[in-house]
Structure 1
Amino acid sequence: MPLGPLRPSPLVEQAAERIREHIAGGHWPVGSKLPGETTLAATLGVGRSTVREALRALAGAGLVQARQGAGVFVTATAPHEDWPTRLRTAELADLYEVRMLVEVQAARLAAERRTDADLTTLDAALDRRRAAADEDDAAFVDADIALHTAVTAAAHNPVLADLLAEFTPVLRQGLIDLIALLDLRAGDAAHGQARHAALVEAVRRRDPDAAERVSREELGGMLEHLRAG
């Protein structure tokens, strides 16, 4: 496919897409140098500023890299997925493994660092989870996630809290679907309430070993369901 002139708008997006197509098609293989801005601009029928913006977008996607004094080189034939996209397309079991890495450590830290205000929040979240046993799966999962979020917040590590917040929205729908698919609440509407209460109690007692153990057991049980499915 020849490059050829472009339609009037949106020029930057069109230029980036046309160059991307040529990279993906092998016209410019990985490691090769792209034509200069002036050449690309003339071939595409746009200004150099449009080409410059298009190349910047392609660099952001991981397809090209500018090397000072040398030019722009192809570094990949397919764009890198951004983090939100990667999370949306991840397997639920993979997300849950990461959740365990975050929350097990968070539970341990929460037991070491919790404040009286944290305990008030945890007790309220535990009560809300218990009450949600009488509600639908979505409300129950929301209450469950709120409790786990409160435990992570009690660790007083904003990076851990941010990590959990990143994949919680994707995890939420997966858990709702899993509960319905496996009918996990059929015999116990408050699925795992005793273990969650034990987790809160371990945090209250400032017992990091117990908090870590309970968290690992609770999350590990759900991960087994995911792997079995």
Structure 2
Amino acid sequence: MPSPLQKRSLVDIALEQIHLRIDDGTWPLGQRLPPEPELAESLGISRNTVREAVRVLTFSGVLEVRQGDGTYVRACANPLDTMLVLARSSVEQALEARGIIEVEASRLAAERRSEADLAALREALEASAVHHGGVLDEYIAHDLAFHQRVVDSAHNPVLSELYRYFSQVIRAGLERTIGDPSRPQPSFELHRELVDAIARGDADAAAKANRALLI
């Protein structure tokens, strides 16, 4: 029976082989992996080792196991590595990336939002307004919840997941920008303008309002 060290080494090999196939496009984003017996045979590794590697990659967010359907590629990079890159980004870099996601999401939200989306947006906006000018941490939490609603109203699960994944970096950036009296602060009314533009389906106005919020 292999020792824990040997087993760990075999799992590492399995992880490396799966990552290589994802990276080289053999298994692209959204692809279903071969069944476990076939996967084990193609990797030349036991089914127990493959099962453990899949468990590790599922935990880290690279793979997704859908009961009764199979195992799918959920991310093309290890989210833990990605978070390290995001954590090292500057405020300016974070704002640029935030703008790319949010401005386009605002356009799409104006075109795709439902009445339920509008109700949720207005509810989130009022919750944010209550905390505006108050305790910074509480306002930032509600502000992020509002902007997540905007992104979700675009009805693009990729954008929603990206923004949710990026939220912790955005939070750190907001703590530095909102808490810095030397930086110009956008008017809270721009949030209302954004919601109004989305409500009337004006994609250009929605994008303009969101862009102005990212000064």
Checking the alignment, whether the CA contact within 8 Å between 1:88 and 1:170 is kept in structure 2 is no
CA distance in 2, matches of 1:61, 1:117: 40
The residue number in structure 2 matching 1:148 is 147
Q: Is the 8 A contact 1:106 1:152 kept in 2?
A: yes
Q: Residues 197 and 205 of structure 2 are in contact (CA less than 8 Å); yes or no, is this contact kept in structure 1? A: yes
How many equivalent residue pairs?
162
Contact 2:94 2:173 in 1 (8 A): no
Letter of the aligned partner of 1:86 in structure 2? T
RMSD across aligned C-alpha pairs, in angstroms? 3.2
Secondary structure at 1:10 match in 2: helix
Q: Which residue of 2 aligns with 1:210?
A: 205
Rg larger in 1 or in 2?
1
Could you list the runs of 5+ residues in structure 1 that have no partner in the other structure? 1-7, 16-49, 72-79, 222-229
Equivalent pair of 2:95/2:173 in contact (CA under 8 Å): no
Amino acid at match of 2:172: Q
**Deviation of 1:157 (Å):** 1.5
Per the alignment, residue 121 of structure 1 pairs with 120
State the match for 1:195 in structure 2.
Answer: 190
Gaps (5+ residues) in structure 2? 25-40, 45-75
**Percent identical residues:** 30
Query: Offset at 1:158?
Result: 1.5
What TM-score do you get using the length of structure 2 for normalisation?
0.63
Matches within 5 A, 1:71-86: 82-86=78-82
Q: Would the aligned equivalents of 1:111 and 1:205 in 2 still touch at CA under 8 Å?
A: yes
Q: 1:159 — aligned with what?
A: 158
> 1:61 Cα shift?
5.7
Residue 3 of structure 1 is matched in structure 2 by none
Corresponding residue of 1:77: none
Q: What are the Cα deviations for residues 127-173 of structure 1, in whole angstroms up to 9, with x where unaligned?
A: 11111124311111111111111111111121211111111123213
Displaced runs of 4+ in structure 1, greater than 6 A?
none
Q: Give, in whole Å, the separation in 1 of the partners of 2:169 and 2:151.
A: 18
Residue in 2 that maps onto 1:131: 130
Which amino acid in structure 1 is aligned with residue 14 of structure 2? Answer: R
CA offset at residue 60 of structure 1? 4.7
